[in-house]
Amino acid sequence: MSERVKKKIFDFSLLRKVFRFVKPYRWQFYMSLVLAIVLAVFTPVRPFLIQLTIDKTDPSKAVHIPQWVHWAILNTDTSNPLHFIIAVTIFQVVFIFIETFVRFLFTFLTSWMGQSVVRDMRIQVFRKILGLNLKQFDTTPIGTLTTRTINDIESINDIFSDGLIPIIADLLSIVITLATMCWINWKLTLISLVPFPIMIVATYYFKESVNKSFIRVRNAVAALNAFVQEHITGMQLVQAFAAEDREFGKFRKINQEHRNANIKSIFAYSVFFPVVEVVLALSTGILVWYITDRRLDAGLLVSFILYLNQIFRPLRVIADKFNVLQMGMIAAERVFKVLENEDYIKKEGSYNPEKVRGEIQFDKVWFAYNDENYVLKNISLQAKAGETIALVGHTGSGKTSIISLLNRLYHIQKGTISLDGVNIEEYQLDALRGSIGVVLQDVFLFSGSVMDNITLRNPDISKEQVIAAAKLIGVHDFIMQLPGGYSYDVMERGNTLSLGQRQLISFIRALLYNPSVLILDEATSSIDTESEMLIQKAIDTLIAGRTSIVIAHRLSTIRKASQIIVLDKGEIKEVGTHEQLVALGGFYAKLHSMQFEKQVPVS
């Protein structure tokens, strides 16, 4: 593993960030630490009592019984071996139930705390994703963000349930057990731990090997999620171009990497656990040899064998838990990259008018999606309240970018954009977007009913309002023909509806909010002529008194625009009415000639 990765894994500032989410659950955290200490103290109790019990069976041996044992067995007569053994046995049975209950509380509390932190963190991550600039979604695969929101955050749960606190509990139990062994017989303790350096070396190499493979696994999981999500979404395209075999080959390669990483970790486990057993056997053998050679007590032998098992038992899993902790920290680093992403939509504006008139002005606006590669260059335009302006130009000329900037989906690099003479940056984001209705060319519908997709599950919008809007556009009859009418389930992305039907639904959705500004981005591009005539009639009625921005390749939809703006490579080339631009004989006139005089439709 590189030094860079190591540094990040042991970055205590990152651990502090994680534990900020523990703040609401402080008492559960402190209680889990108390329980960890209690369990550690409990660890050497039973072996010590077993040693006393065995020693007590030898009448010739004087056995010193500590005061706490007298208290534990309710001051039973210890001079009688039988009474003592029965009392200690009863206590051990009760003690086992108490220890089991405490261990249950510890396990449940750490897991509960981990799941609570995961819930809170996932909420914050998703809220952050909702507020990110669209640029982040342009450059980050959806599957990667899905991995951050689900898989990586779930790994953070392991920091609590299988990582930090359980490691502390195991280390405490080892320390207390070793202290007890040294208290009983420090020489015997040192002799029995002679093979221990082998265990330390094996643990180190196991930790390093498994951690590297876990990093590979995590990267492979992210790659698998991104690949599967992307290809399921684009399955129609994959099948249309008969690319199933080629894409399946790519999937098998990614999946093979995931398998290889897991097998490498499995190999490390397969080597490490037998090594632990061998070291334990060596320690036990040395212990038996030493005690037998010097004719020490049988109780001492049995208790030390039990102590060694209590040391090696957590050591078997502590390296694995440490890897779990490391992977949780790596996952936390990725999650905090999302939480600390500064490329989010700024919402500092406080201007919240009850109603906007709809006067729009772009003043020398420059915009680039990436660095200095400007897609809009020195754009200046103005739309008076109630006017309809049209944007025309080849694909990639900057039409959609202009309306995206008006909605503050992206931030401009230079210039200003104003609505009613107020910079849009000064508006509350909800107030700004609530004043603008948008119908996009690429319509997205969520899983759910037609009604849910029209209202976006807004409880303030009644079914009567939806029906009235649908009738106004002439779509009500089409919806009622669907099975279940407005309750018809459109499935994911609206796949059970045609593209034209999806656009009609999105058109209702935009108009239902009664916006002051209406944006139509190729809104009629996928609708047949009859549907277009219905929508055009509705548009003529609805744009009255509203500022409208229309992007269309079909010039028939923009003939009545107050002004038509012709864009080319991010710059304004022509501005005027339909008649003025046709008379000008420039770009617009050529496009008009292609569509109406030569009857060549433009897609």
Query: In angstroms, how far is CA 523 from the centroid of its own chain?
Result: 33
**Phi/psi of residue 340, each to 5°?**
-100, 10
pLDDT in tens, 421-447: 999 988 888 888 888 888 777 777 777
Closest CA to 251 of 238, 241, 263, 270: 238
In Å, how far are 265, 391, 417, 570, 591 from 394, measured between CA atoms? Answer: 54, 10, 23, 10, 10
Domain boundary among 304, 339, 374: 339
The dihedral built from the CA positions of residue 180, 184, 186 and 191, taken in this order, carries a sign that is: negative
Specify the pLDDT at position 557.
64
**What are the distances in angstroms from CA 397 to CA 139, 377, 400, 573?**
21, 11, 9, 11
Report the Cα 25 to chain-centroid distance in Å: 22
603 lies in some domain? no
CA angle at residue 602 from 596 to 603, to 5 degrees?
155
Task: Tell me the average pLDDT across 246-264.
Answer: 85
In a domain, 10, yes or no: no
- pLDDT value at position 477? 82
Q: Is 465 in the same domain as 521?
A: yes
Look at residue 411 in the predicted model and tell me its pLDDT. Answer: 82
Do both 369 and 246 map to the same domain? no
In a domain, 8, yes or no: no
Do residues 428 and 377 make contact, with C-beta atoms less than 8 angstroms apart? Answer: no
Q: Is residue 318 domain-shared with residue 407, that is, in the same domain?
A: no
Least confident of 63-72, 73-82, 479-488, 492-501: 492-501
3-class secondary-structure state, position 22: coil
**Domain contains 346:** no
CA distance linking residue 388 with residue 393, whole number of Å: 17
For the cut 60, the answer to whether the pLDDT of residue 525 exceeds it is no
In the structure, what pLDDT confidence band is assigned to residue 7 with cuts at 50, 70 and 90? very low
Residues 211 and 2 sit within 8 Å (Cβ to Cβ): no
Q: How confident is the model at residue 9 (pLDDT cuts 50, 70, 90)?
A: very low
Closest CA to 189 of 51, 291, 81: 291
Compute the mean pLDDT over every residue in the chain, rounded to the nearest whole number.
Answer: 81
Contact between residue 191 and residue 285 where contact means Cβ atoms under 8 Å apart: no
Tokens of 229: 């999500």
Question: Can you give the CATH number for the domain in which 181 is found?
Answer: 1.20.1560.10
Q: What is the pLDDT of residues 45-102, one digit of tens each?
A: 999 998 888 888 877 677 788 888 888 888 877 778 888 888 989 999 999 999 999 9
pLDDT digits (tens, 9 = 90+) for 341-400: 776 666 667 888 888 888 999 999 999 887 778 889 999 999 888 888 989 887 788 888
In angstroms, rounded to a whole number, what is the distance separating the alpha carbons of residues 342 and 467? 42
80 and 196 housed in the same domain: yes
335 and 429 belong to one structural domain: no
Question: Is residue 345, in this structure, part of any structural domain at all?
Answer: no
Asked if residue 112 and residue 57 are part of one domain, the reply reads: yes
Question: If phi over 0 gives left and psi between -120 and 50 gives alpha, with beta otherwise, what is residue 37?
Answer: alpha
Residue 421, classed as helix, strand or coil, is: coil
Predicted confidence (pLDDT) at residue 2 exceeds the cutoff of 60: no
How would residue 4 be classed by pLDDT, with cut points 50, 70 and 90?
Answer: very low
Please, are residues 283 and 311 in contact by the beta-carbon 8 Å criterion? Answer: no
pLDDT digits (tens, 9 = 90+) for 538-552: 666 666 678 888 887
43 and 176 Cβ atoms separated by less than 8 Å: yes
- The answer to whether residues 105 and 35 touch, using CB atoms and an 8 Å cutoff, is yes
Q: Which domain holds residue 408?
A: 360-597
pLDDT digits (tens, 9 = 90+) for 539-586: 666 666 788 888 876 666 677 788 999 888 889 988 988 888 888 888
> Which pLDDT does position 603 carry in this prediction?
35
Indicate the number of domains in the chain.
2
Name the residue with tokens 């970790």.
265
Do 387 and 333 belong to one domain? no
The residues with which 374 forms a beta bridge, in sequence order, are 368
**Looking at residues 152-159, what average pLDDT do you find?**
79
End residue of a domain, out of 339, 370, 399: 339
Q: How many CB atoms lie within 10 A of CB 367?
A: 22
Nearest-CA neighbor of 333 among 145, 166, 152?
152
Q: Are residues 364 and 321 in the same domain?
A: no
> Per-residue pLDDT tens for 303-326?
899 999 888 888 777 777 777 777
Contact 375/401 with Cβ under 8 angstroms? yes
* DSSP conformation letters of 66-116: -HHHHHHTTT--TTSHHHHHHHHHHHHHHHHHHHHHHHHHHHHHHHHHHHH
Q: What is the pLDDT of residues 181-203, one digit of tens each?
A: 999 888 888 988 888 888 888 87
- Answer yes or no: do 430 and 317 share one domain: no
Q: Cα(388)–Cα(485) distance, rounded to whole angstroms?
A: 34
State which of 339, 370, 387 marks the end of a domain. 339
* 404 plus 515 within the same structural domain: yes
Tell me the pTM. 0.68
Same domain flag for 300 and 393 = no
pLDDT in tens, 449-476: 888 888 888 888 888 888 888 887 777 8
Say whether pLDDT at 132 is over 70: yes
Q: Are residues 252 and 148 in the same domain?
A: yes
Phi-psi region of 567 (alpha: psi -120 to 50; beta: other; left: phi over 0): beta
CATH number at residue 574: 3.40.50.300
Q: What percent of the chain has a predicted confidence (pLDDT) above 90?
A: 12
What pLDDT does 138 receive? 64
Enter the tokens of residue 339: 């939480």
Q: What pLDDT score does 602 carry?
A: 38
- Say if 412 falls within a structural domain: yes
User: Does residue 251 lie in a domain region?
Assistant: yes
**In this predicted structure, what is the pLDDT of residue 598?**
47
The encoded tokens of residue 504 equal 């009609």
Residue 413 lies in a domain: yes
**What is the rounded distance in angstroms from the CA atom of residue 144 to the CA atom of residue 560?**
46
Inter-helix orientation angle 529-542/499-512, to 10°: 10
State the maximum Cα–Cα separation within the chain, in Å, rounded to a whole number.
124
Asked if 432 and 407 touch (Cβ cutoff 8 Å), the reply is: yes
Q: What is the distance between the alpha carbons of residues 414 and 377, in angstroms, rounded to a whole number?
A: 9
